[in-house]
Chains A and B, each alone.
Chain A
Amino acid sequence: DVKVTQSSRYLVKRTGEKVFLECVQDMDHENMFWYRQDPGLGLRLIYFSYDVKMKEKGDIPEGYSVSREKKERFSLILESASTNQTSMYLCASGGLGSTDTQYFGPGTRLTVL
């Protein structure tokens, strides 16, 4: 069974803290994605990576950075967490094409106080 795992299901942080969200996939996919999901706003792409050390900004990259040092691992970093970054964060891996599937992790619900 294909698997995307995320380091935490729930996380509570304070404003100004640096936050690391880790994602690991076991499908040998070139592409990995970070989305956030908010009620009424749907799913929004933060960043994606198409190869090790390669990244592209998504729709809402401000306040976030990413790191892809190994093919199977994609990290999302909140340099200085703010309350408006309280959200569900979803990692995915998969293809870019119109017939390709993206496989999602279980999500990390982050609360910034």
Chain B
Amino acid sequence: DAKTTQPNSMESNEEEPVHLPCNHSTISGTDYIHWYRQLPSQGPEYVIHGLTSNVNNRMASLAIAEDRKSSTLILHRATLRDAAVYYCILRGGSNYKLTFGKGTLLTVNP
């Protein structure tokens, strides 16, 4: 499985944008980039996914580098409820299981 690398932790202030990076230098051409997050004492929840183009939804935006070796999850205005562990994972082919690494613990300061 292709691996992803994320910073262990990041900090942000409420109402400010947050850019969460993810490196995936061994990504294959058919791998989709998915982001999930896990709030304290909750199960993971889907955030967004993309292949090549940048993607937006009501929760976040996903910016994908042209060479696809890295991506950035963008929360446009962080709230206290966005404090969570964010996981960047790759899904391709017959990879039906989700493999989460350590993720990035996002702290949001009031």
A residues near B (Cβ < 8 Å) are 4, 31, 33, 35, 37, 40, 42-43, 45, 48, 58-59, 90-92, 96-107
Contacts and interface: CB of A to CB of B under 8 A. Distances in A.
Contacts of A99: 32, 49, 91
Interface of B: 30-32, 41-46, 49, 91-102
B97 A59 contact: yes
A97 B93 CA distance: 7
Q: Residue among A31, A35, A43, A59 with the most chain B CB within 10 A?
A: A43
A107 B43 contact: yes
A98 B92 contact: yes
A42 B41 CA distance: 15
A102 B42 contact: no
Given A96-B96, A98-B31, A102-B98, A107 B42 contact: yes
Given A90-B44, A98-B31, A103-B46, A33 B97 contact: yes
Contacts of A59: 97
